[in-house]
Each structure stands twice: as structure tokens, then as C-alpha cells.
Amino acid sequence: MADTRTPTGTAPRPSGGAAGRRTGRPLAPVGRRAEAARATAGSGRMAALLVSPTLLVLAIVVLYPTIMALTESLYGPKGLDPRTGFIRSTEPFVGLKNYADIFGEAGGRFWNAFWNTTFFTGVTVALETVIGMAMALIMHRALKGRALVRAAILVPWAVPTAISGLLWRWIFNSNGIANGLLGRQILWTTEGFHAKVAVIVAEVWKTAPFIGLLVLAGLQVIGKEVYEAARLDGAGPLRQFWHITLPLVKPALLVAVLFRCMDALRMFDLPYLLIGAQKNSVETLSMLAQDEASNVRFGPASAYAVLLFLYVFLIALAFVRLLGTDLVGDGGAGGRRGGRRGIVLSRRAEVTA
Amino acid sequence: MTGAAKWRHWLLYAGVAAVAAYCLAPFYWMLVSSLRPASDLFDTSLVPSRVSFANYRAVLGPSQGFPRALLNSLTVAGVTTVLALLLATFTAYAMARLEFRFKRLILTLIIATSMFPVVSIVVPLLKLFTGIGWINTYQAMIVPSMSFALPLAVWNLTAFFRQMPEELEHAAMVDGCTRGQAFRKVVIPLAAPGIFTTAIITFIAAWNEFLIALSMTNKPAMQTAPVAISKFTGATTYEAPFGSQMAAGVLVTVPLVVMVLLFQRRIVAGLTAGAAK
């Protein structure tokens, strides 16, 4: 089933020639049925009308700030003017100095934040995937009580991250329940490796159920007859898992993991509230950029923000290119679900266009 | 039932109980801690020996300004949700039903923005908003919130519109409706559950937002609830006021949890429609 996928790279693209000849007109597929022709007539102009407000807003709230961040990252902090002794009113242009500084002596804090971000992302996403997968398998098997568990599983998702940060700060308090259960006296919220552990535990608690939910949805579309056939062929539960469940649930799982990665890479609320700002052990790139910005050092802050953006972008690109994660949902994994005939059809129309 | 099957049966229920406990225990702890009187705060019994609502009274009292923070949160999340839904409904309909050039590219771009690190736009916008005097205003929180709320709404709604049978609109158009009329009179009423679910998911995302609200406000009167709670002051500066923080946390979370429980099936459908398609 998985190999019927078309790689994302081969997505149909209107050729330049066609675009030139028919500017302003939709590449409406020639309708095979009168009904289809009617449905797509004039759809190009209509689509432009319907889509452009969203694109405009996104251009204002995402594209424009990104460009601002790029230019801002070329300026230094205001600082004291040596001649007057006052704080300068304009920021000096410093070129790529903010980026070059990362490799200098001031770069220590950046690299620390970079490794923290990477470490948190790797560890939490791995744990979440395993725990979420286990949860999904349990829920899938359980017939009674599934509704209850599915409701319970949404609770961590609904708790605001900021609140869960405070809640776990309370749980990890030196006199809190975590130490009470462990029978130890660990100062979780102070600097050190235990602070990382606290953040990971809290993050995994909040997000593993979410992965479980998405994987469960993937499990539910696998037909029972596949397992029956495997059982008849003598496959044990473990082989069924490796050779049926995992490959078939892979597309859903990959999307879930990609989204979790993107979310973990920008982690801010949890370490900020659970441990605190400017703590080396848990400072992430988001925290570093926010801290610099709130101290009116917009230049370095923007440089860090741009680098984080590039990092996130590269990881997402790697997912899509290497693992073939199908984000948009109208391209790959043809016929994975019953109600997708329409999409396959529209896709065929795209190819012919 | 054979012995092995019985075992498996019990193991499954142990697993179900473990999953439920994993998800609910920390939340339960927040609830229990919020109900303890200050003198029992560090008590680790599973059920409070004495129940006290003192924490709730403290939170809702005038000293922390929490009711105002709730109102701020409601305003910011509410306006963000309405705006995002308004724009997203039209866009998602086009994405699901119309054929046009660069559709895939545009949808990919919109989804890509939802993965965008929020801090990357907060930093430049903080500078911009400081310059134009928008710090401590609702719009300073609503505008950046659109960056994640709008893609989320578009994505969810596109999945919903795709699942709806196209034949109904075609039938309406065969009967003489224009596409606009078919959209208004057939699609919107039928998609109401999907729009409603998307509204809940978007609202929760906006309600839970912290980084933007933290960066764009410095006046307590304009802080949203999560920021306000994180800045609660205790009797001493050395110990965070955990009792009142837990009480406020319960107050902020319970409406969401109730909403989630009421519309559980729809929300699960919405979340998985977006991600697992």
C-alpha cells in the first residue's frame, strides 16, 4: 500500500508555457462529465478571491516579521555611545557580526541553547513516540472503557502548557510529591541534569497522549482481515506488529512525529516556567531569543530567531524529503482510507491539467 | 476463556488503567493541591484531609487581578478564533473543492507556517509594536496569534470539507444554485460541526498561548490568564504561591476539560483529520 505513493517531489506543477499562454485563467481540467466541468468553471478567479485574504494575513503576520527579523539581525544593540555617555538612539549596523559572534566567545550561550533544544527534541519525541504508540495499541485493543480513556487522553492536551509548567514545578518542588514518591531529596528545579529530566517528564506527559490519539486513528483504518491473514500464515503478535501495524501506521505516525519535532524545537513555556529563565541547563533557542529581545538586544535576538527558523526548516525539509512525510494529504498514500476517492479524482485532474 | 486469554484480558485492563492514570494523575494532583488549606499544602495524602476553598477565594479576590486576566484571555482567544475561522472557512473551501494553480504549493505554505517558531515573529514584532505604542494592547496579542491560529483552522477545515460528499453541492448547482449559494445554503450548514470543532481547537490553541502574551505585555491589567498565574506573588518572595497557582490553574483548565469531554468525539475527529487525514 505504501509503495503506491508518489514522491512529493513529483507533485504536478503547471508548466511555464501553459502559464504564459493562459495567464489569469484557471488551469481547469477538461471535465469528463458535464457536472465536473460546471463545478470547475471559473474556479480560478473564485479560488483567488477565497484564498487571498488568508495569504494576505499570513504575509502580514509571518512573512513581514520574518523579513524584519532578517534585516534586524544585521544590527547591533544600542549600547552606550562612548562620546556622550548616553544610550544611543539608533542601532548601529554591524553586518553579519551577530551571526559571526556565535562562533566567538559569546557563542557559548547560543551553542548551549542549541544543544539543549536538540537534546530535548530528540529525547522527548523518541519517548513520546514509544509511549504514545503503546497507548494507542492499548486503546485499540480495549473495547470497553475506550471512551473513558479517550476522554482522559485529551486532558493533558487541553491543559495549557504554561499551567502544566507550573503544575510540574509544584510536583517537582523539593517538598513535593515527586520527591515524596521517590523518597529522595532532589532539588529538581535547580541547575543540573535533573532539571532537564524534569522538563522531559513534563513535556512527555503532555504530548505522548496526543501521539497516541493520532496513531489510534491510523490503527483504526487497518482492516481486521489483514491480521487474520497474517495469523493464518502463522505470524505471532510481534511479527504482526513489525510487518503489519508499523508499516501501515507509518504515514500517520510520521506526520505526528514531524509535528511534535517542530513543536519541541520551539519549546519555550515549559522550561521557562518549570525551571526559569536564563538557566543554562534548560535554556532553549526560543528562550534565548526571547530573553535577548526582552532585554532590548533585538539584533542578537533576531539572529537567534532566524537561526532557529532555519533549523526548524531544515528538519522539516529532511522529514519531507527523506521520509516522504505527506503533509498536505492530497498527494501520497493513495487510497489509505475509504473516503478519499474524491481526492484521488481531483489529483488525476491536476495531473491532466 | 482459556487461562492465557484471561491473562491477556486482565493485562489489557491494567494497561487501560495505566493510561488513564498517566493522563489524569498530574491533573488530579493540581485539583487536590488547590483544595488544601495553606497549612496542609505540603501534605502528600491522595485525598485532602481538610477541604478548603481559601485558595480559590484568594485567586478570585482583588489582590491578584485574576478575573481581569481571565477576561483578557477570553478577549484575545475569542477574537483570534473568530477572525481565523472567518478567513479559514473560505480558504479551506477553495482548497478542498476548487481546482486552481499552485494549490498544493499554497496549502503546503499555509501548513508550513503553522510549524513556524513563534519566537521568530515575536522578536521583530516586539520591536515594531514598541515603536507604534501597541505594547499592552489586545491587538498586539491577537495579530501574532493569527500566525498559528489561521493555519491551524485552514488545515482542520480543509480536512472537514474534503470529507463532505461533493454530490450535495453539485445537486444544488444542478437545481440552479450558483457556487456561492451552494456554499452558503448547503456547505456551511452541513459543515457546521466541522467549523464548530475547528473553533474549539483554535480557541484552545489561542487560550493556551504564552510566549506572545508574555512578550507583548508588561502591565498586569493586560496580562492573559497563563501569564498572570505565572506572575502570582506569594506571602514571601522565596516561595511561589503554589496553592493559589494550582487553584487558578484549575479555573483556567476546567472549562477546557469540560469542553473537551463534551465534544470529545468531534475533537478527536478534528485533531486526527488534520494530522492523519
**Structural domain spans, chain A:** 43-72, 109-287+318-347
Q: How is residue A6 annotated by DSSP? A: P
pLDDT of amino acid B81? 96
pTM of the model: 0.83
pLDDT tier at B144 (50, 70, 90 boundaries)? very high
Yes or no, beta carbons of A54 and B29 under 8 Å apart: no
The pLDDT, as a whole number, for residue A27 is: 43
Render B143-199 in DSSP notation, one character per residue. Answer: HHHHHHHHHHHHHHHHHHHHHS-THHHHHHHHTT--HHHHIIIIIHHHHHHHHHHHH
Q: What is the mean pLDDT of residues B248-270?
A: 86
Q: For chain B, where do the domains classified as CATH 1.10.3720.10 start and end?
A: 64-275
Residue found under cell 530567531: A305
Angle at the Cα of A300 (from A298 to A304), degrees rounded to 5?
Answer: 110
Residues from chain B contacting residue A259 (CB–CB below 8 Å): 115, 275
Is the backbone of residue B143 left (phi > 0), alpha (psi -120 to 50) or beta? alpha
Which helix (H) or strand (E) element contains residue A115? helix A107-141
In this structure, are residues B16 and A145 in contact, taking their beta carbons and an 8 Å threshold? yes
What pLDDT is recorded for position B71?
Answer: 94
Q: Residue B235: pLDDT band by 50, 70, 90 thresholds?
A: low
B181 vs B173: CA distance, rounded Å: 8
Q: Is the ipTM of this complex over 0.85?
A: yes
Q: Which fold has domain A109-287+318-347?
A: MetI-like fold (1.10.3720)
Q: How confident is the model at residue B266 (pLDDT cuts 50, 70, 90)?
A: confident
Which residue bears the cell 548551549?
A: A112
The residues, ordered by sequence, that sit 6+ positions from A127 with a Cβ below 8 Å of its Cβ are: A200, A204, A208
Closest chain B residue to A156, measured at CA: B23
Instruction: Assess A345–B contact: CB distance below 8 Å, yes or no.
Output: no
Q: Residues of chain A whose pLDDT is less than 50?
A: 1-39, 331-353
The 8-class DSSP code of residue A333 comes to S
Distance from the B195 Cα atom to the nearest Cα atom in chain A, whole angstroms: 16
Q: Give every CB contact of residue A290 below 8 A, 6+ residues apart in sequence.
A: A268, A301, B119, B122, B123, B211, B214, B215
The reported pLDDT for the residue numbered A167 is: 93
* Distance from C-alpha of A222 to C-alpha of A228, rounded to nearest angstrom: 12
Query: Would you state the pLDDT for residue B1?
Result: 56
Return the C-alpha cell found at B171.
445537486
B219: contact with A, CB 8 A cutoff: no
pLDDT band at B271 (very low <50, low <70, confident <90, very high): confident
Buried b (16+ CB within 10 A) or exposed e, B122-156: bbbbbbbbeeeebbbebebbbbbbbbbbbbbbbbb
| Whole-angstrom distance, CA of residue B84 vs CA of residue A61 | 12
What are the grid coordinates assigned to B162, written together?
474534503
Kindly report the CATH class assigned to B64-275.
mainly alpha
Distance (Å, whole) CA B71 – CA B67: 6
The pLDDT of residue B83 is above 60: yes
CB contacts of A90 in chain B (<8 Å) are none
pLDDT in tens, B217-229: 999 899 999 999 9
The per-residue pLDDT of chain B, averaged, comes to 86
Confidence (pLDDT) at A258: 87
